[in-house]
């Protein structure tokens, strides 16, 4: 009886991901953005996440299945490395909240893997994802059009941000969102879902353009290149997508950006490497980069830096070599498992699975020069689970059409 509520739980957690960035307001970290939600509502959202996680853990304990969690061990290794780094770091309390949210990501990943094939579960996930993402885009575009709130518009230089605190956070969310709604618009079984997904694709693409995120554009180009490469012979289709991303960045390099920010990443990366050299094994602890940056930065560098402006440097600095190795282990295990499942899955399910993976490839490229917390804590682990679950062979999905899409 209680298991029948799992589709509702999965749909709810997907729906509130656009609000995850507001959790940063609960930490002591100074962030260069505006949180639109009152602290009480943010606390309520966090409590809801905790309740959903407790329910999911109970369901997972009651309905175990052998071999259904191939990524659990490496994901636990990432969580363990983060917990260790926090315990021996400079401020254990600073990263406690997001270490716990990372644990919620593991619970969500395992829940998707275990219950995706339940009646209505996939339908709840995809409908919630499409609608919440579309609403997040509408809100972000409306705020730019109305220049409200004025503080956010000024800080972001008129770039689309919405509930994501920073334009780069919204861009990271959309890099994952766009390939999925593109796939749903082609292979979803119901006409209504296909139509809504196609509309969300157009809306999301326009919103990503309005973020003016150079890393975001390159991430989407990489996602498109990956999807074209796996869908076309010899992968030549990836070339125009990659060139398109490069052209967009070159033509609009300083659009809605302060030109003085162009080279700030160089000094931040230099400081990050100095910190990693001093604390190589376990790092300085989650969300402690800003504390150490103020000490090791160059005299002419930016006075503050929220993170290392590179996903991989952030893991190295804050989680140490142990954390970085655990992350690489997880990615390798995911790629191996995905390849095996896609090779034996029906064509429409394989297409959807690869589209989800394309978004993950895109944020991996974005992560070369940016750190996007909504990806780390809200999308990375669950979307790996969704990609693997969608490609599960021998289990036709009532959400996905039975025929293969034509072309790329």
User: pLDDT tens digits for 220-270?
Assistant: 999 999 998 887 766 666 777 777 877 877 777 777 877 766 678 889 999
Q: Are 26 and 45 in contact (CB under 8 A)?
A: no
Buried b (16+ CB within 10 A) or exposed e, 92-106: bebbbbbbbbbbbbb
If DSSP states are collapsed to H, E and C, what string results for 3-66? HHHHHHHHHHHHHCHHHHHHHHHHCCCCCCCCCCCCHHHHHHHHHHHHHHHHHHHHHHHHCCCC
User: Which residues, 6 or more positions from 216, have their beta carbon under 8 angstroms from its beta carbon?
Assistant: 167, 168, 171, 172, 174, 175, 208, 366
- Which 3 state secondary structure label does DSSP give 188? strand
Query: What are the backbone angles phi and psi of residue 316, rounded to the nearest 5°?
Result: -65, -45
Confidence of residue 407 (pLDDT cuts 50, 70, 90): very low
Alpha carbon distances (Å) from 128 to 11, 18, 377: 5, 11, 18
Angle at 365 between CA 361 and CA 366, to 5 degrees: 115
Strand partners, 400: 188
- Which 3 state secondary structure label does DSSP give 136? helix
Nearest-Å Rg of the Cα atoms of the chain is 20
pTM given for the model: 0.94
- Tens of pLDDT, residues 6-16: 999 999 999 99
Packing angle between helix 96-115 and helix 72-88, nearest 10 degrees?
170
- Tens of pLDDT, residues 262-318: 678 889 999 999 999 999 999 999 888 988 898 898 887 888 888 899 999 999 999
Q: Are 173 and 136 in contact (CB under 8 A)?
A: yes
Strand partners, 188: 400
- Tens of pLDDT, residues 62-75: 988 766 899 999 99
Furthest CA-CA distance within the chain? 63
Q: Which pLDDT score is estimated for 233?
A: 64
């Amino acid at each position: 009886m209680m298991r029948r509520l799992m589709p509702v739980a999965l749909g709810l957690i997907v729906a509130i991901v656009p609000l995850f960035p507001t959790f940063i307001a609960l930490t002591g970290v100074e962030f260069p953005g505006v949180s639109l939600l009152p602290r009480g509502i943010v606390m309520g959202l966090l409590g809801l996440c905790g309740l959903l996680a407790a329910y999911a853990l109970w369901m997972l304990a009651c309905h175990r299945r052998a071999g259904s969690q191939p990524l659990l061990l490496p994901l636990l290794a990432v969580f363990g490395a983060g917990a260790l780094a926090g315990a021996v770091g400079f401020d254990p309390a600073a990263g406690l909240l997001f270490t716990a949210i990372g644990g919620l990501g593991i619970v969500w990943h395992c829940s998707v893997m275990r219950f995706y094939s339940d009646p209505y579960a996939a339908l709840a996930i995809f409908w919630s994802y499409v609608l919440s993402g579309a609403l997040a885009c509408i809100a972000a575009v409306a705020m730019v059009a109305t220049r409200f709130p004025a503080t956010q518009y000024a800080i972001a230089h008129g770039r689309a941000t919405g509930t994501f605190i920073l334009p780069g956070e919204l861009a990271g969310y959309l890099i994952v969102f766009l390939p999925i709604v593109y796939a749903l618009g082609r292979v979803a079984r119901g006409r209504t879902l296909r139509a809504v997904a196609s509309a969300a694709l157009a809306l999301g693409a326009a919103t990503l353009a309005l973020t003016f995120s150079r890393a975001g554009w390159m991430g989407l180009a990489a996602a498109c290149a990956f999807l074209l490469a796996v869908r076309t012979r010899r992968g030549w289709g990836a070339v125009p997508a990659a060139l398109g991303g490069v052209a967009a960045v070159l033509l609009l390099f300083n659009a809605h950006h302060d030109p003085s920010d162009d080279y700030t990443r160089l000094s931040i990366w230099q400081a990050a490497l100095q910190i990693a050299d001093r604390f190589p094994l376990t790092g300085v602890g989650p969300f402690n980069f800003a504390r150490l940056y103020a000490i090791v930065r160059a005299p002419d560098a930016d006075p503050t830096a929220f993170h290392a402006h590179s996903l991989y440097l952030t893991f190295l600095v804050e989680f140490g070599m142990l954390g970085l190795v655990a992350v690489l282990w997880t990615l390798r295990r995911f790629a191996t498992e995905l390849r095996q499942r896609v090779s034996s899955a029906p064509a429409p399910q394989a297409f959807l699975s690869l589209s989800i993976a394309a978004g993950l490839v895109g944020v991996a490229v974005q992560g070369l020069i940016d750190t996007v917390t909504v990806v780390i804590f809200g999308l990375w682990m669950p979307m790996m689970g969704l990609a693997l679950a969608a490609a599960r062979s021998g289990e036709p999905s009532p959400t996905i059409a039975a025929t293969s899409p034509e072309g790329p």
